[in-house]
Amino acid sequence: MMNSLITLHARIFGALETHLAPALLPSLARLLFLGALFMYYWNAGLTKIGDGFGGLFQLSPGAYVQILPRAVEAVGYDPSALGALARATVLFGTWAEFLLPILLAVGLFTRIAALGMIGFVMVQTWVDVMGHGAVLGALFDRHADGLIDTRAFWIFPLLLLVFKGAGPLSLDTALARWLQPKSAAFVAASQPR
């Protein structure tokens, strides 16, 4: 009886792992990112851009305060007094808040975008703690509302996307299917006869 239950368990969950998980887990990870974090990052990016299309290149003073709080404070809250590296950091950080979530949403270059978002979350956490005085908290304590607890949950679906890819409902999959016949034909044509 026990062997039958173990065999049944192995068959059911083995089938789920083999047939359902490869498509379901990455798709759910992207959906979770969309539902929980896409608008968070989109709205955060909107607070940093200036007016009109040129605002993507002429960021608001608040962008510098959010990303480089101590550096901006050191120059009397005058972003024009910051160097080129600081301006580039704020500009590319702001663009990343828009671009990386969009890539994850549509599933294009998903593994790279997920790695970029993991790096972004880590830098964001460092800025929150070191620049804005947020309390990091600790893992394995009795509180589940600390900054580190929250950001760990943000990073987990991103890690899943790094390891598993975007899933079947993605531009990555469509692009791979479109390129596969072309690359197979190229490989066949380049083989010596």
Tens digit of pLDDT for each residue in 30-82? 999 999 999 999 999 999 998 888 888 889 999 999 999 999 999 999 999 99
Is 15 within a domain? no
Is 127 within a domain? yes
Per-residue pLDDT, 119: 97
What is the model's pTM? Answer: 0.86
Per-residue pLDDT, 190: 52
Q: Give the type of residue at 142.
A: R
Give the list of residues 6+ apart from residue 46 with CB closer than 8 angstroms, or none. Answer: none
Q: Which domain holds residue 57?
A: 25-185
pLDDT confidence band for 97 (50 / 70 / 90) = very high
Cα separation, 56 vs 48, in Å, equals 9
Question: Mean pLDDT in the chain?
Answer: 91
Q: Which helix (H) or strand (E) holds 33?
A: helix 21-33
Per-residue pLDDT, 142: 86
Token pair recorded at residue 109: 């270059």
SS3 content of the chain, % helix, strand, coil (to 5): 75, 0, 25
Cα separation, 45 vs 189, in Å, equals 47
Is 97 within a domain? yes
Is 193 within a domain? no
Is 174 within a domain? yes
Per-residue pLDDT, 156: 97
Average pLDDT estimate for 115-124: 97
The answer, yes or no, to whether residue 103 has pLDDT greater than 60, is: yes
Least confident range from 5-9, 40-44, 102-106, 184-188: namely: 184-188
Is 101 within a domain? yes
Is 33 within a domain? yes
What is the percent of the chain with per-residue pLDDT over 90, rounded to a whole number?
76
Is 128 within a domain? yes
The answer, yes or no, to whether residue 98 has pLDDT greater than 60, is: yes
Q: How many domains does the chain contain in total? A: 1
